Amino acid sequence: MAETLIIIRTKNEDRWIKYTIEKILEQTYQKFKIIVVDNYSTDRTLEIVKKYKLKILKIRKFLPGKAINLATRAYKSKYVVCLSAHCIPYNKFWLNNLIKNLKPTSIAAVYGKQIPMFNTNLSDYRDLKNIFGDDKRIQKKDSFFHNANSAIKRSFLTKYPFSETTSNIEDRIWAKKILSAKKNYKIVYEPKAAVYHHHGLHHTNKIDRLRNVTSIMKDIDQEETLFPEVFNLDRQKVFACLIGRKPKFASKQYLESNKKLIKSLEKNKSIKKIVLVLDKYLIKAFKIKKNKKFYVIPRNKKIQGLTIEKLLVEVYKKIKKFEPDYFLYTNTDYIYRPKNFLENLINKAIYNLSDIVSFAAEEPSNIWVKRDNNYLNLNSQLVSKTINAPFGNFPQSEKYYFALFGLGSIFFFNNLQKMNFQNKKVEFLVVKNKLYLQRFSQQF
């Protein structure tokens, strides 16, 4: 029996779960077992969890207290730790700093600090900073308690299980029950048991005031890094993919340009593997030699007929066994590429935690769309700026971008499973020089 059971509750957490598990495994305190309680995730969450050979329990109707009780009943332990899948331990002492507070008999539970991240929105940043301070405290009456990062004696959970009917604040309801038991039970807040938490507790307030308040807070707390080390570039596995087929006319410029591109991919230390989706002619013409960094996917008849979207999904299926973190895509058709384009894409994606970053060209005005044999204006110089566009009610002042995915784009790898970027963090590196729009296939 492990001394401590760590319960991670999940629902489509493939953006975070790997990093959370990795930081747990680095802890100095190792007397634990991890169990994942999953609410039927539809992304890669369970696939990633299985790589670590962790036990998984499934719960269809998710209620937070019910999920914790389910895992607690399934596995015996002295202590139970609750950790949100998107809460990443701050350092290797996180778990030890939680557990050591449970030694006194009067202590029922402990919860730790939650640190906002560099990309935490303004209201959440303010709330996390205000609520989770740097002073340790022992609570006798205050029933604030938070299961995103907590540890509880199992004996207390056996006698006082969490509510299985409430949809939220199950932690505070439970803490109120414990502190009202008239048995001198206490709850500890331990700031040294810290985790990164990218979102917070409340989601409100005026933006100008929030900007001012959070700016002051960041000035005060400059010594506290807001970027978890697990997201550093040297800890990310970036795969690049070059896609191309024999052009109608393989000019000298075409061949030399792509040879130079392949050398750039080879020399880039951040790129761990290069996936080549090229036909035999190009493999030979580019003088590609056997290299451990190369992974060749033959351009057969099946691949030849795929759209780029379906082709990227096919590549995803073939390389997911390597578990890349990011996937950089470019193709052989672009004549010119921006200086340091690989580094700019990779750094933008990793240090902004973007779901996709692509080069794009801004289309400032005179955009029209054809619908039912009528041409509708999106943003024309000929229409008043106060009038909404007839297509999708976009204001005339909106900016429009033409994405240049083949020039260079990078994806958070797990997003390739469904290729759905609605409500995802999408960013563009805008190119102003029209040279970067030129393609070999348009020359003839």
Domain annotation for the chain: domains and CATH numbers: 4-231 (3.90.550.10), 240-364+399-442 (3.90.550.10)
Q: Rounded distance, CA 388 to CA 369, Å?
A: 14
Q: What is the mean pLDDT of residues 161-180?
A: 91
Which range has the top average pLDDT, 86-100, 305-319, 419-433? 86-100
Contact indicator for 263, 293 with CB cutoff of 8 Å:
no
Confidence at 122, pLDDT banded by 50, 70, 90: confident
- Residue-level pLDDT at 389: 46
pLDDT of 277 strictly over 90? yes
- Cβ contacts of residue 162 below 8 Å, gap of 6+? 64, 65, 66, 68, 69, 170, 171, 173, 174
pLDDT of 392 strictly over 80? no
- Cβ contacts of residue 206 below 8 Å, gap of 6+? none
- Higher-scoring residue by pLDDT: 398, 41: 41
- Residue-level pLDDT at 215: 62
Q: What ranges make up the beta strands (E) of 303-424?
A: 326-331, 356-363, 367-371, 374-379, 400-412
Nearest to 337 by CA among 269, 389, 262: 262
- Residue-level pLDDT at 209: 47
- Residue-level pLDDT at 305: 85
**What single-letter DSSP state applies at residue 288?**
P
Pairing mode, strands 186-197 and 87-89 = antiparallel
Token match 């609410």: residue? Answer: 39
Pairing mode, strands 107-115 and 238-243 = unpaired
Largest CA distance in the chain: 85
3-state class of 194 per DSSP?
Answer: strand
- Residue-level pLDDT at 367: 72
pLDDT of 88 strictly over 60? yes
96: number of Cβ within 10 Å: 16
Q: Which residues share a beta bridge with 368?
A: 377
- Return the structure tokens found at 224: 């506290």
Nearest to 404 by CA among 375, 368, 439: 439
- Higher-scoring residue by pLDDT: 303, 175: 175
Phi and psi for 159 in degrees, rounded to 5?
Answer: -85, -35
pLDDT of 217 strictly over 60? no
> What sections of 58-147 are H helices per DSSP?
64-74, 94-99, 122-131
From 102-106, 169-173, 389-393, 412-416, the region with the lowest mean pLDDT? 389-393
pLDDT of 211 strictly over 80? no
- Higher-scoring residue by pLDDT: 303, 336: 336
Q: What is the mean pLDDT of residues 107-122?
A: 93
- Return the structure tokens found at 373: 């044999």
- Return the structure tokens found at 273: 């593997």
Work out the percent of the chain whose per-residue pLDDT is above 90.
Answer: 69
- Return the structure tokens found at 167: 């949809």
Contact indicator for 151, 102 with CB cutoff of 8 Å:
yes
Phi and psi for 181 in degrees, rounded to 5?
Answer: -75, -10
Phi and psi for 437 in degrees, rounded to 5?
Answer: -90, -10
Q: Which residues share a beta bridge with 6?
A: 34, 81
From 71-75, 121-125, 206-210, the region with the lowest mean pLDDT? 206-210
Q: Give the CA angle between residues 308, 432, 335 to the nearest 5°.
A: 50
Q: What is the mean pLDDT of residues 311-334?
A: 94
Q: What is the mean pLDDT of residues 111-115?
A: 97
Confidence at 206, pLDDT banded by 50, 70, 90: low
**What single-letter DSSP state applies at residue 161?**
P
Q: What is the mean pLDDT of residues 412-432?
A: 89
Read off the pLDDT of residues 34-71 as tens digits, 9 standing for 90 and up: 999 999 999 999 999 999 999 999 999 999 999 999 99
- Return the structure tokens found at 28: 């100095």
- Residue-level pLDDT at 203: 42
Which range has the top average pLDDT, 55-59, 296-300, 431-435? 55-59
- Return the structure tokens found at 240: 């690049």
Number of H helices, E strands in the chain: 13, 18
Residue 183 Ramachandran class (φ > 0 left, ψ -120 to 50 alpha, else beta)? alpha
Q: Rounded distance, CA 88 to CA 194, Å?
A: 9
Read off the pLDDT of residues 351-361 as tens digits, 9 standing for 90 and up: 999 999 999 99
pTM of the model: 0.81
Q: What is the mean pLDDT of residues 374-390?
A: 60
- Return the structure tokens found at 98: 């939680």
Average pLDDT, the chain: 88
Residue 432 Ramachandran class (φ > 0 left, ψ -120 to 50 alpha, else beta)? alpha
- Residue-level pLDDT at 343: 96
Q: Rounded distance, CA 346 to CA 344, Å?
A: 6
